[in-house]
């Protein structure tokens, strides 16, 4: 579904009172709903190529970097779930095998490496991204179309709360939670091969 189609369904689901609400207000709720789905599931995975610089400690985070994310530089080593300032071992230098650690400074929009690189290395930065803001009628959510109903129901909840229609908001919230559970089960099934006790969000762009 595109933004226009989602907006139309939200208007229909929330009743006549919504017809007096400007489209841009409804679109704000739709974008908040998309962001909430991604926030709860960390399901938009992106990769960018990175290159270290000799004697440079800090590097820019991607503009759409999600605070709760996964990252790695290089290849053939584990990924770690990270919060804002957690340091984790993630790779070793090519020449000496010295372990590197990273830290994330979301306020500064930077990630740092310790020890400071002494040479140039290339690798892959993997992270969970914030969704693209929907603005044009033809824009489609970043998440797979299988899960667009999650955006619809959460947007309906937000609109209903704005209109003080709390019984309706509760109904839409219950539908959102039910679909979110289905989505989690779906992703868990696709990630079962990671390990017997490890369940991670799948990249729903590959759904």
Q: Quick one: DSSP state of residue 61? A: P
Look over the chain and give the mean of its residue pLDDT values, rounded to a whole number: 77
What is the 3 state secondary structure string of 170-203? HHHHHHHHHHHHHHHHHHHHHCHHHCCCCCCCCC
Q: pLDDT (tens digit, 9 = 90+) per residue, 124-183?
A: 677 778 899 999 999 999 888 888 999 999 999 999 999 999 999 999 999 999 998 888
Q: pLDDT (tens digit, 9 = 90+) per residue, 53-88?
A: 888 888 898 888 877 665 555 444 344 444 433 434
Domain ranges of the chain: 3-42+132-190, 45-128
CATH 2.40.50 fits 45-128, yes or no: no
Q: What is the CA radius of gyration of the chain?
A: 20
Q: Residue 105: pLDDT above 50?
A: yes
Q: Quick one: DSSP state of residue 204? A: G
Cα–Cα distance between 121 and 119 in angstroms, integer? Answer: 7
Please give the backbone phi and psi of residue 56, each rounded to the nearest 5 degrees, phi first: -105, 125
pLDDT for 112 equals 82
């Amino acid at each position: 579904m595109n933004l226009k189609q989602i907006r139309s369904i939200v208007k229909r689901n929330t009743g006549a009172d919504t017809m007096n609400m400007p489209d841009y207000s409804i679109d704000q709720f739709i974008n908040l709903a998309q962001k909430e789905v991604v926030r709860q599931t960390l399901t938009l995975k992106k990769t960018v190529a990175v290159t270290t610089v000799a004697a440079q400690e800090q590097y820019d985070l991607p503009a759409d970097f999600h605070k709760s994310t996964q990252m790695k530089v290089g290849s053939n080593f584990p990924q770690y779930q990270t919060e804002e300032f957690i340091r984790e071992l993630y790779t070793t230098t090519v020449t000496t095998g010295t372990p590197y650690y990273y830290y994330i400074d979301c306020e500064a929009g930077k990630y740092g490496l310790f020890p400071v690189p002494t040479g140039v290395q290339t690798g892959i930065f993997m992270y969970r991204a914030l969704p693209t803001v929907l603005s044009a009628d033809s824009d489609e959510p970043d998440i797979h179309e299988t899960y667009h109903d999650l955006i619809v129901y959460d947007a309906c909840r937000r609109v209903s709360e704005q209109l003080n229609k709390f019984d309706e908001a509760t109904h839409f919230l219950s539908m959102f939670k039910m679909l979110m559970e289905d989505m989690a089960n779906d992703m868990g099934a696709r990630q079962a091969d990671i390990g017997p006790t490890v369940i991670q969000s799948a990249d729903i762009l590959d759904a």
